[in-house]
Amino acid sequence: MNIKSRDSKYLKGACMKYNLLEKTKVSELVNALKKKYRVVGPKEKENLFVYGDIEDAGEIRLEHKPPILSLKKYYLPQEEQLLAFKFKEVKAVPVEVKKENLVIFGAHTCDITGIICLDHASSIEPRDSNFHKRKKNVLIIGIECLRPCDEHATCVTMDTHNPKGGFDLMLTDAGNNYIVQVNSTEGENLINEYKFLFKESDAKSEDGLIKMRQEKEKWPRSLKVKTDDLKKTVDSGLKHKEWESVKARCVSCGNCTNVCPTCYCFDIKDDVDLNLNNGTRSRVWDSCQLKEFAEVAGGENFRKDRKSRQQHRLLRKFSFSVEKYNRFFCTGCGRCTRACMAKISLYETMNNLVKE
Amino acid sequence: MANDTVMEKEKKASLYEPVAGKIVSVRQMTETEKWFKIELEGKKELHHCPGQFVEVSLLGIGEAPISISSSPTQRGYFELCVRKAGKITTVLHGMNEGAEIGIRGPFGHGFPVDELKGKDLLFIAGGLGIAPLRSLINFVIDKRKDFGKVTILLGCKEPSQLLYKDEIEKWSKLTDVAFRCTVDRGAPDWKGNVGLITELIPGVDIDVKQTYSIVCGPPIMYKFVLVKLMEKNIPENQILLSLERRMKCGVGKCGHCQINKHYCCQDGPVFSYDKLKGLEGAL
C-alpha cells in the first residue's frame, strides 16, 4: 500500500478487512444512511454526470464517467464566506464552517486521490482550518472502476486506477455482490452500525479482487510518457514547439482549472448588501489561466501570455507538486481534456513534448 | 501551552481576520505616494522583521499587500509607504488621520538580519523599492555597530518622485554610511547625479567575501543590477532581492503569488538570488 495521506484517520493498509454487500441491498444502505447523513453521489444530468444530493437511492449512478465538477466542491466550496462585518467598521467576525455529516457515495479512485492532494496543500502551515473542519465530517464510500472511462482518462499512468487509500469504504463489483474494503475506523463503525446489510467476505471473492486488478494493468494508456518521466518531461520541455500550438489554441477560459480535482487557487472578494450595512468577505475559485491572475496593482503581469500560464498549470501538476509534496497533483481523471473548448488535451500535449 | 493544539488554535482564530489599526499620521510624499503611520489597537506591537509585509484590509473594499517601511526598532507603531495604484490603495489614499483600518500580518520571510550581522551591506533601491529597504536601513542605522560598511544607492525616475526626502538628507550626512542618489531624468533645481542606478555600482568598493547586496525595485531593474553585481563577483547567495507579487491571501493558500514551487508571500518576499536563478518567471 502506498498511502501518502498523513491523516491518521485512515488505517494504513496494515489490516485489510473485507465484507460483502448484495447489490440488491445498496438502496437499503443509502436510505439508511440518509436518515443520519447528507448523502451525495454521482447522478445523471443532461447526458453527463454531476455529484449532487441523493434524494432517492435510485438516482445514484455507480457506473459513471467523472462528474463535471470533482469532489473538491464539498471541501473547498466554489464560494465560501470567511468573514462577516458591518460596512466601514474594522472588526469582522469569522464565519464558522457549518458542521454537516456528509457521506460521499460512489466516488472513483481518481477523485479520492484529488482529496488526498488537497489535504497535502491544506496541511502546510498555517493550516487551512476550513478544509480540515469539513474533511473531518466526511465519509467516503468509493466505487472501484472496472473499465476505463474514455481515452481522456490517464489514471493508469498516474497510478490512480486502483484503490490506494483516502476512503472509508470501497465497493468493488463482484457479480451479485460488492466486495467492501474497510479502510478506516469510521468505515468499520459504519459496517457495524448497518451489520444487517453486510455479509462476511470469503477467500474466493478476495482472490478475484487481486486477479481483476492485475487485469486492469492492461488498460490502454493514452498518456504514453512513463510515470517516472512526467516531471522531467515538463521541466525540460518548456522550450518545445508544442507550447506554441497550445498557446495558439488556449482561450484562457479557466475551464481546465475549475474542473481539476486538485486546483485550489482562490480569489478573495468583498460583498456589501444594498443598504450598505452588512458585508461578507468570501473566497471564490480562481484560475491561473485567467490573464489577471498574476498581475499586480501597478500593471506588471508575471504570466502575461497564455503559453506561460498553460506551462504553469502543467508544472503545478507534474513538477512543483513533486518538489513540494512529493506527489503529482494530476489524478488522471481527464476532466481538463474533456472540458477544454479549444481541444487542448493533457495527454496529447505531454506525448508531443517527448517527440522531437 | 499544552492545550494549545493545532485544532484549538484553529477554533480560536481565522487566518483571514484582520486586527484593528488606526492611522495616526498621513503625509503626501509625492504625487502618487502617501506615508502612513499606524498604531494597532491597544498600541500592540506588530513584531515584524525588516522586509515583511502586511495586508491592509478595508472591509467592503478588499485587501492589498504593503511592505512595512519602518524599522522594528521603532516601537508602538509602524509605517507604510503606499502608492495609489489600485482600488484599495486609492481608497486608502482618501483616508485621514484617526481613520481605522484592518491589518493582517506581518507575513513572509524578511531579510535574514542575523546572517547580515557583521557584514558589509550594499543597498540598491529603485523607485518605490526604497519602502521595504528603509525598514532594514533604519534598523541597521539604529544598530550601527552590529554591521560593517554600509552603502546606499538610491535611484528613481525624476526628482519629484524621490521618497523620504528629509530622511535621505539625514542619511547623506551620516559619516558611517556611504549614500549616493541618482535620477534617470534631471530637473532644473536638481543638483545631484543624473543617470541609471546601475551606473553607480561599478564605483562601489566591495569586499566580495563579506558584502551582501540588498536589492528592491521595479522588475526591469533586477536584470540590469544583477549583471553589475555579477561583474563585482558578489556571490549569488549574498544578493538578496525583495520581490513584488500579487499576494492576495498572505498565508500561502490562494496561489496568486506563486513563483515555481515558492509562494512569494510565505517563502519570500525576500529571496537570495541563488534560490531564484533559473526559475522560470522569477525575475
Q: What is the full DSSP assignment across B11-58?
A: HH--TTPPEEEEEEEEEE-SSSEEEEEEEEGGG------TT-EEEEEE
Q: Say if residue B50 is in the same domain as residue B129.
A: no
Give chain A's residues under pLDDT 70. Answer: 1-15
C-alpha span between A97 and A131 (Å, rounded)? 9
DSSP 8-state class, residue B173 = H
pLDDT for A299 equals 87
CATH code of the domain covering residue B130: 3.40.50.80
* pLDDT tens-place string over residues B156-215: 999 999 999 999 999 999 999 999 999 999 999 998 899 999 999 999 999 999 999 999
Is B273 within a domain? no
Q: Cβ of B245 and A286 within 8 Å?
A: no
Three-state secondary-structure class, residue B56: strand
Question: In chain A, positions 265-324, which contact chain B (CB-CB < 8 Å)?
Answer: 265-270, 272, 279, 281, 283, 286, 288, 293-300, 302-303, 308, 311-312, 315-316, 319-320, 323-324
Q: B243 near A291, Cβ under 8 Å?
A: no
pLDDT for B11 equals 54
ipTM of the complex: 0.91
Last residue of a domain, one of B90, B107, B124: B107
Q: Say if residue B184 is in the same domain as residue B134.
A: yes
Q: Cβ of B255 and A266 within 8 Å?
A: yes
* pLDDT tens-place string over residues B220-243: 899 999 999 999 999 999 999 999
pLDDT reading at B9 higher than 60: no
Q: Say if residue B120 is in the same domain as residue B232.
A: yes
Nearest to B247 by CA among B31, B43, B54: B54
Last residue of a domain, one of B107, B141, B172: B107
DSSP 8-state class, residue A184 = B
Beta-carbon contacts of A255 under 8 Å, excluding residues fewer than 6 positions away, are A336, A339, A340, A341
Count, in order, helices (H) and strands (E) of chain B: 8, 15
pLDDT reading at B84 higher than 90: yes
**Considering only alpha carbons, which residue of chain B is nearest residue A312?**
B260
Q: How many CB atoms lie within 10 A of CB A252?
A: 15
Chain B contact for A194 (CB, 8 A cutoff): no
DSSP bridge pairs for B126: B155
**What is the H or E stretch that residue A243 is in?**
helix A242-249
Q: Say if residue B220 is in the same domain as residue B123.
A: yes
Q: Mean pLDDT throughout B90-108? A: 96
pLDDT for B224 equals 95
pLDDT for A265 equals 97
CATH code of the domain covering residue B59: 2.40.30.10
Q: Say if residue B151 is in the same domain as residue B39.
A: no
C-alpha span between B216 and A47 (Å, rounded)? 55
C-alpha span between A144 and B132 (Å, rounded)? 54
**Which residues on chain A are in Cβ contact (under 8 Å) with B10?**
127, 129, 132-133
Beta-carbon contacts of B166 under 8 Å, excluding residues fewer than 6 positions away, are none
Is B189 within a domain? yes
**Considering only alpha carbons, which residue of chain B is nearest residue A121?**
B253
* pLDDT tens-place string over residues A244-294: 999 999 999 999 999 999 999 999 999 999 988 999 999 999 999 999 999
**Which residues on chain A are in Cβ contact (under 8 Å) with B86?**
297
Residue with the larger pLDDT of the pair B2 and A223: A223
Please give, rounded to a whole number of angstroms, the shortest distance from the CA of B90 to a CA of chain A. 11
Please give, rounded to a whole number of angstroms, the shortest distance from the CA of A202 to a CA of chain B. 41
**Considering only alpha carbons, which residue of chain B is nearest residue A273?**
B60
Q: Cβ of A126 and B15 within 8 Å?
A: yes
Q: Say if residue B93 is in the same domain as residue B178.
A: no
**Which residues on chain A are in Cβ contact (under 8 Å) with B107?**
none
C-alpha span between A140 and A310 (Å, rounded)? 32
The percent of residues in chain B predicted with pLDDT above 70, rounded, is 95
Give the domain range for residue B13. 6-107
pLDDT reading at B3 higher than 50: no
Going from N- to C-terminal start, the domains of chain A cover 17-74+97-216, 227-263+288-353
pLDDT for A15 equals 55
Is B51 within a domain? yes
Among B15, B244, B281, beta carbon nearest to A308: B281
**Considering only alpha carbons, which residue of chain A is nearest residue B100?**
A90
Q: Say if residue B121 is in the same domain as residue B233.
A: yes
pLDDT for A167 equals 97
Q: Say if residue B34 is in the same domain as residue B136.
A: no
Please give, rounded to a whole number of angstroms, the shortest distance from the CA of B56 to a CA of chain A. 11
Q: Say if residue B66 is in the same domain as residue B130.
A: no
Among A92, A121, A293, beta carbon nearest to B256: A293
Is B154 within a domain? yes
**Considering only alpha carbons, which residue of chain A is nearest residue B257?**
A294
From residue B84, alpha-carbon distances to A21, B31, B55, B90 in Å are: 65, 9, 15, 5
Is B218 within a domain? yes
Q: Say if residue B233 is in the same domain as residue B121.
A: yes
C-alpha of B146 from chain center:
21
Q: Say if residue B138 is in the same domain as residue B101.
A: no
Angle between the N-to-C axes of helices A306-318 and A242-249, in degrees from 0 to 180, rounded to the nearest 10: 110
Please give, rounded to a whole number of angstroms, the shortest distance from the CA of B86 to a CA of chain A. 5
Three-state secondary-structure class, residue A300: coil
Q: Where residue B7 falls among pLDDT bands split at 50, 70, 90?
A: low
Q: A262 near A118, Cβ under 8 Å?
A: yes
Angle at B239 between CA B236 and CA B245, to 5 degrees: 110
Q: Cβ of A300 and B280 within 8 Å?
A: no
pLDDT for A4 equals 37
DSSP bridge pairs for B68: B80
Q: How many domains does chain B have?
A: 2
C-alpha span between A24 and B98 (Å, rounded)? 70
